[in-house]
């Protein structure tokens, strides 16, 4: 998907420079800069989140890892025999590393 001009700038302003904090019991936490994902507000937020994480399924499949995607979370897992646990763990580690780089 490619955006240009004013549309690109609007999406950029919507996604960049976001931060959050938690207010509980009259106390406010430190503010944290959001460096990945999309805001979960307005109508476009959930759609952008689905588009943002769509690549995860392809990335997991590259390592023969199963991905279960939920509304606000993802879970990866692999099924293996006891005889190939070590190779499966290695695949999981490689997949997690690739996901970290992707993020």
pLDDT of residue 2: 60
Helical H segments across the chain, by residue range: 5-15, 44-53, 55-62, 85-102
The overall average pLDDT reported for the chain is 83
- Find the largest Cα–Cα distance for the chain: 56
Q: Which residue has the higher pLDDT, 97 or 46?
A: 97
Model confidence pLDDT, tens digit, residues 71-90: 778 888 888 888 888 888 89
Q: How confident is the model at residue 49 (pLDDT cuts 50, 70, 90)?
A: confident
Q: How confident is the model at residue 43 (pLDDT cuts 50, 70, 90)?
A: confident
Report, as an integer, the average pLDDT of 48-76: 84
Query: If you ran DSSP here, which 8-state letter would residue 64 be given?
Result: T
Domain residue spans of the chain: 1-51, 54-103
CA distance 84 to 89: 9
CA distance 85 to 78: 10
pLDDT of residue 103: 79
Report, as an integer, the average pLDDT of 18-39: 87
CB 66 within 8 A of CB 78: yes
* 2 CB neighbour count, 10 Å cutoff: 5
Contacts of 32 (CB under 8 A, 6+ apart): 19, 20, 21
């Amino acid at each position: 998907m490619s955006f240009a001009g004013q549309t690109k700038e609007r999406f950029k302003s919507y996604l960049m420079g976001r931060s959050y904090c938690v207010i509980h019991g009259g106390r406010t936490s430190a503010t944290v800069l959001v460096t990945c994902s999309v805001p979960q507000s307005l109508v476009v937020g959930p759609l952008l989140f689905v588009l943002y994480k769509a690549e995860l399924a392809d990335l997991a499949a590259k390592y023969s890892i199963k991905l279960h995607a939920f509304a606000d979370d993802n879970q990866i897992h692999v099924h293996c025999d006891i005889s190939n646990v070590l190779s499966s763990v290695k695949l999981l580690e490689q997949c997690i590393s690739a996901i970290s780089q992707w993020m």
